[in-house]
Amino acid sequence: MKFNKELDSIKVYEAGKPIELVVREFGIAPEEVVKLASNENPLGTSPRVAATIRANADKAHLYPDDSMFELKEALSQRYDVLEETLIIGAGSDQVLEFVSRAKLHPGAKVLMSRVTFAMYEIYARQQGATILRTPDWRHRPEEFLAMMREHRPDVVYLCTPNNPTGDAMRREDLFAVLDGADPETLVVVDGAYMEYARAKDPDYAVDPREILEYPNALYLGTFSKAYGLGGMRVGYGIAQPGIIEALLKLRPPFNITTLSLAAAITACSDDEFLEKSLALHREQIGRYEAYARAHRFDYIESYTNFITWNFGGDLNSTDLAEALLERGVIVRDLASYGLNALRITVGTAAQNDRLFAAMDEILG
Ligand code: PMP
């Protein structure tokens, strides 16, 4: 059977390996498997959010409030923005899909850095758009600006902090790109990990309100990382009302579930859990930096909840990922991104102990 030709060039998105796979393949007990591959919150679900989900368990037969009034109100208070500047998606992933469908078509162009979140490319290819990448894996403002002048892309993705490398743009660099964008270019600032950047160094963090100043920019946020709700699939976009109105035309009704909506509303006021998550991360990430230094390989300074170990010639990331998997530790190999590197979500102290012990064993 024939399908749309745009699909021919798309590789199916490869998510982090699930715990179940390691259980099946290596016969390791599920409670022994340590998953540090998908940038999930190692603290688990916030107790307050879990209580909300339980309290709403008997509402599964009801469609959610499609206006998402309460969640929009909570987000508008959190970020000090108007409700008409908000769109909610089934993960920020769904908002990315709306962006692509709203702006891209065969002949349209998107610009992104050489190594960045894989879904930008997949959604662009679905629309038959042309993908342009800057030469460096870091977001270099001068490279973005030069390519924007030359190619006039329809959409530019700034993933800051960036997945899968963990680095982030300095504020002045981000604003330089925004200031240099053509009014017809939609600049997407993907802040999926922004809470971690803000906690580490405010020079590398922006506020959605600052992005709202630009009539051609969209800020993306998510409850999946610092808020610990990856499994509930709630993300949001913040932009001037003209952009939001266009994206809303693509939103299917009831695009997040009744339970997800309730969970996200509670998460918005759950600062205690957010602070705890950020504190645990701060406490643990130094161990990964120290381990890399002690074993003489590089790491990328991280502004996210993961760290990327970047190996020289001696170690091979694919072999290491496989050896870790055999020991029940799941990490993300970045070979498919053209890097000899591993992306590791910083876990709890006990999870990180397991990873270091497995590494010690592998490295002998
Ligand atoms: N943007 C970036 C940079 C991400 O890393 C992710 C999650 N992998 C997403 C967006 C999508 O996250 P979600 O759909 O869970 O909000």
Cα 293 to Cα 91: distance, rounded to the nearest angstrom: 36
Which residues fall within 8 angstroms of residue 79, CB to CB, at 6 or more apart? 207, 208, 209, 238
pLDDT of residue 16 exceeding 80: no
Ligand 1 neighbourhood includes 123 CB (under 6 angstroms): no
- Rounded to an integer, the average pLDDT of 134-149 is 98
Residue 164 CA, closest ligand 1 atom number? 5
Q: Ligand 1: distance of its center to the CA of 165 in Å?
A: 14
Residue 233 CA, closest ligand 1 atom number? 15
Report helix angle 171-179 to 141-151, nearest 10: 10
Cα 355 to Cα 361: distance, rounded to the nearest angstrom: 10
Ligand 1 neighbourhood includes 235 CB (under 6 angstroms): yes
The residue whose CA has the least distance to atom 2 of ligand 1 is: 192
The residue whose CA has the least distance to atom 1 of ligand 1 is: 192
Ligand 1 neighbourhood includes 192 CB (under 6 angstroms): yes
Residue 90 CA, closest ligand 1 atom number? 14
pLDDT of residue 202 exceeding 80: yes
Q: For residue 342, give the nearest of 351, 355, 327, 353 by alpha carbon.
A: 355
pLDDT of residue 14 exceeding 90: no
Residue 93 CA, closest ligand 1 atom number? 14
Cα 98 to Cα 252: distance, rounded to the nearest angstrom: 10
Ligand 1 neighbourhood includes 188 CB (under 6 angstroms): no
Spacing of C-alpha 303 from chain mean position: 12
Ligand 1 neighbourhood includes 40 CB (under 6 angstroms): no
Ligand 1 neighbourhood includes 255 CB (under 6 angstroms): no
> What pTM was computed for the model?
0.96
What confidence tens digit (pLDDT) does each residue in 317-350 have? 999 999 999 999 999 999 999 999 999 999 999 9
104-120 in b/e form (b: 16+ CB < 10 A) is beeebbbbbbbbbbbbb
Burial of 99 (0-12, 13-18, 19+ CB in 10 A): buried
Q: For residue 80, give the nearest of 211, 217, 274 by alpha carbon.
A: 211
DSSP strand pairing (186-190 vs 217-222): parallel
pLDDT of residue 22 exceeding 90: no
C-beta neighbour count of 226 within 10 angstroms: 26
Structure confidence at residue 132 (pLDDT): 98
Residue 57: pLDDT band with limits 50, 70, 90: very high
pLDDT of residue 18 exceeding 90: no
- Domain architecture of the chain: domains with CATH: 5-44+272-363 (3.90.1150.10), 47-270 (3.40.640.10)
Ligand 1 neighbourhood includes 229 CB (under 6 angstroms): no
Q: Where are the alpha helices (DSSP H) in the chain?
A: 19-26, 47-55, 69-79, 92-103, 118-126, 141-151, 171-179, 194-200, 208-212, 241-248, 258-268, 271-294, 317-326, 349-363
Q: For residue 227, give the nearest of 179, 274, 169 by alpha carbon.
A: 274
Structure confidence at residue 13 (pLDDT): 84
C-beta neighbour count of 250 within 10 angstroms: 16
pLDDT of residue 313 exceeding 90: no
Residue 223 CA, closest ligand 1 atom number? 16
